[in-house]
Amino acid sequence: MSEAKTSSQTTKKDENIPFMERLPSNVPFAPLVRRPDYQLRFVKLSVPTSIPIELIIAVVFIGLFFIYMGGFYDLAQDNLSAFGSGADGDPIVIYPSQLDAQFLVEGMAAGLLMFIGAGGFFMLYYSTQYAYSTKNATILLVVGIGVVALAWVAIMYMLLTKMGIW
């Protein structure tokens, strides 16, 4: 009779304990699997009180890229097309012989090249941070000069192709 009394007493106690706490800590057939130690009823979500700086930087960079690629000019054009086609049907990426007109892809390519050139200038600036590590400063300086030169050559190639000189 004492066994029946204790079993009824333990069931009343077990009703107040949450289900996850009544589970054994180790599963018998898989000793590496354990029950989770967290409870979802204590999760609290909070709304951020300020705008994250990463979001502000991303919006600024997207705005700069939009300006670099001539986004306002593209919005003002009446007949905006991504790229054109020549007399033989081949696609033309660079608008020929007119400096006051551009295709959408041409503007995006020029904007990307200017953005890459700006990254090269950032590397040049960042190389001055390594005054005591000349190896890192030299590497950043050479790579920065190379990136700026490559972007400048590519932009000049696009401009000369547009003017019909190249």
Report pLDDT for 77. 77
Report pLDDT for 63. 93
Amino acid at residue number 161: T
Residue range 82-107, pLDDT digits in tens: 777 777 878 777 877 777 778 888 88
Rounded-to-integer distance, Cα 155 and Cα 114, Å: 8
Rounded to the nearest 10 degrees, how much is the dihedral formed by the CA atoms of 35, 37, 39, 44? -140
The CA angle 65-115-145, to the nearest 5 degrees, is: 170
Mean of pLDDT over the chain: 79
Q: How many Cβ atoms from other residues are within 10 Å of residue 139's Cβ?
A: 14
Q: Specify which of 37-51, 80-94, 101-115, 150-164 reaches the highest per-range mean pLDDT.
A: 150-164
What average pLDDT does range 49-56 have in this prediction?
89
What average pLDDT does range 119-146 have in this prediction?
91
Q: Which residues contact 27 (CB under 8 A, 6 or more apart)?
A: 33, 34, 35
Report pLDDT for 23. 61
Q: Where are the domains of the chain?
A: 2-42, 53-163
What average pLDDT does range 74-78 have in this prediction?
79
**Rg value, the chain, Cα:** 32
Q: What percent of the chain has pLDDT over 70?
A: 74
With 70 as the cut, is the pLDDT of residue 142 above it? yes
